[in-house]
């Protein structure tokens, strides 16, 4: 693969829950240019799903607005920004705590940020009350050589 591989994309859609799957698949298709493993692709899809769902459910609540995804490929890394112009997050530190939710009546676990953090290498959250939220996530895609070495080492360890 070209070591100076760069590409980017932008996607905007209405904050309707049926657009979450579309967003997840669009980012996965874009990320596939880096030739990720099935596991790496699943991690990206899950993180995007959580970020988009947060924008729809928490950012806009019962209103409809736009959710924007900007993704960038640089060498073997993908950076994904999911942003909205919703109500914003009052306290990011509290919102990041596992099981914290502002919607206890929904069948949600309050694990969105925890899931994003566990599946991506880096996550940054910026939010301003009344203006919206931007979640930036980054993940390094290992080369097939690195994945083969990891697999071989795990087989040898038994």
| Residue 109 burial by Cβ neighbours in a 10 Å radius (0-12, 13-18, 19+) | exposed
Mean local confidence (pLDDT), 100-119: 70
CATH class label, 6-157: alpha beta
pLDDT in tens, 9-31: 999 999 999 999 999 999 999 99
Mean pLDDT of the chain: 85
Mean local confidence (pLDDT), 121-128: 95
Domain boundaries, given as residue ranges, for the chain: 6-157
Specify which residues 126 forms β-bridges with: 134
pLDDT in tens, 49-92: 999 999 998 899 889 999 999 999 999 999 999 999 999 988 77
- pLDDT of 111 strictly over 80: no
Residues acting as catalytic residues: 50, 54, 108
């Amino acid at each position: 693969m070209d070591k100076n591989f760069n590409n980017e994309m932008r996607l905007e859609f209405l904050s309707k829950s049926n657009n979450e799957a579309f967003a997840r698949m669009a980012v996965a298709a874009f990320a596939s240019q880096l030739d990720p493993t099935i596991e790496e692709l699943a991690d990206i899809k899950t993180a995007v799903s959580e970020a988009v769902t947060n924008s729809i459910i928490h950012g806009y609540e019962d209103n409809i607005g736009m959710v924007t995804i900007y993704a960038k490929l640089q060498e073997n890394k993908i950076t994904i920004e999911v942003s909205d112009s919703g109500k914003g997050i009052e306290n990011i530190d509290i919102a990041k705590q596992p099981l914290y939710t502002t919607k206890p009546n929904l069948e949600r676990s309050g694990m969105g940020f925890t899931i994003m953090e566990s599946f991506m290498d880096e996550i940054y959250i910026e939010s301003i009350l009344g203006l919206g939220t931007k979640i930036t996530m980054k993940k390094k895609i290992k080369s097939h050589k690195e994945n083969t070495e990891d697999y071989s080492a795990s087989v040898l360890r038994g």
